[in-house]
Amino acid sequence: MPRIAYQLYCSRNFPPLADTMRTLAEIGYRDVEGYGGLLADTDGLKAALGETGLQMPSCHFALDMLEQDSAGAIATAKALGIGKVIVPYLNPESRPTDTAGWAAFGARLAAAGKPVQDAGLVFGWHNHAFELDPTPEGDLPLDLIAAASPDLMLELDLGWVRVAGHDPVAWVQKFGPRITAVHIKDIAADGTAVDEDGWADVGHGIMDWAAIHAALQEAGVDHYVVEHDNPSDDARFARRSLAAVHSF
């Protein structure tokens, strides 16, 4: 059984954090994944982890933070017991527009990750859908990012892969051992869950989890992170999603 984490971003609209953490522990989670907005209150985050016994094996860090203060980011990660530092996003205005630009961004990302890796931590990139839109030259940005360094790991967001029109199984098979974790995210049937931006609780959407889980196990992926970008009830999402992953 892989370790199953809850991405705390799902509960950003349901404060306070301490209550969220207690609820997750009561539901049965043992791991959570953090995101950049929580790092402004490292003491509060550490206290909530300590109170509930939850662990945070991975966390999303902004690229700017890593480039401007890698030592501080590494210290924060170690203080919170984070072993995987993941860069999650690139704002639209900062995204390259051609193959050369994406290759250069991959090199920039690899350079930002080197101090993290030298400190004994895993460093990776988390995709959305835009990295799977071809450049004018016909290349996929995610391929170019991965090609920048063999040491750069991936946190593959399976929901965004599907939204981009790609087969999640094929991408799991493609990157295999480069995948340090996956985001387990489900998509609602067309025309439903409009109030939740078209996302679904894991196991209650259109994703073929039997095939995906089999591919993940074949690839040796052992770290699942459940996520829903806009649940109307985060406790419901957390509970149903954990049950669904256990049923895999």
pLDDT under 50: residue ranges of the chain: none
Give the start-end residues of each E strand in the chain. 3-7, 31-34, 55-60, 84-87, 122-126, 153-157, 179-184, 186-187, 199-200, 223-226
Residue pointed to by tokens 């699942």? 224
pLDDT computed for residue 191 by the predictor: 87
Give the start-end residues of each E strand in 3-109. 3-7, 31-34, 55-60, 84-87
The whole-angstrom separation of Cα 135 and Cα 130 is 10
The amino acid present at 82, given as its one-letter code, is: I
CATH code for the domain in which residue 211 is found: 3.20.20.150
The whole-angstrom separation of Cα 101 and Cα 148 is 12
Burial class of 197 by CB neighbour count within 10 A (0 to 12, 13 to 18, 19+): exposed
pLDDT computed for residue 193 by the predictor: 86
Whole-model pTM: value is: 0.95
Per-residue pLDDT tens over the stretch 39-97:
999 999 999 999 999 999 999 999 999 999 999 999 999 999 999 999 999 999 999 99
Residue pointed to by tokens 């080197």? 114
pLDDT computed for residue 141 by the predictor: 98
Q: How many domains does the chain have?
A: 1
The C-alpha angle 87, 88, 90, rounded to 5 degrees, equals 100
Q: Is the dihedral of CA 148, 81, 41, 17 positive or negative?
A: positive
Domain that holds residue 137: 3-247
